Amino acid sequence: YFFFFLCPVTNKKPAQASITKVKQFEGSTSFVRRTQWMLEQLRQVNGIDPNRDSPEFDLLFENAFDQWVASTASEKCTFFQVLHHTCQRYLTDKKPEFINCQSKIMGGKSV
């Protein structure tokens, strides 16, 4: 299973946030860090299909493309909401593009 976290790196201005992908192996209670990117590296969030609830999604970073699977479609939606809010709050220059996402994720705005 893959889990993901948005982690504040510092509280100083400007704040820095990262996206960390971790994996929990079956039968284990601990997590292993797989990859980590700075929020500024995120270029695109692709929900894959806005017409169905699925846990799959893709993240495109500056120099990497990564496929993700949330535990549930609801968890994916929550992650997208937090990610969108975090990007709006902390990224002043280049904000990532959210495509193929359900409108409820961005507070009713059609994406």
pLDDT of 14 reads 61
Domain at 2-101: CATH code = 2.30.29.90
Structure-token match 């982690």, residue found: 7
Label residue 48 left, alpha or beta by phi (over 0 means left) and psi (-120 to 50 means alpha).
left
The torsion of the CA quartet 18, 54, 63, 39, rounded to 10 degrees, works out to -20
Per-residue pLDDT of the chain (111 residues; tens, 9 = 90+): 444 555 555 666 666 788 888 877 888 888 888 888 999 999 999 999 888 889 999 999 999 999 988 888 888 998 999 899 889 888 888 899 999 997 766 665 444
Retrieve residue 52's tokens.
Answer: 């169905």
pLDDT of 29 reads 86
Q: What backbone torsions phi and psi does residue 100 show, to the nearest 5 degrees?
A: 55, 40
pLDDT of 13 reads 60
According to DSSP, residue 83 is labeled H
pTM to 2 decimals?
A: 0.79
Retrieve residue 1's tokens.
Answer: 């299973």
pLDDT of 7 reads 57
pLDDT of 58 reads 96
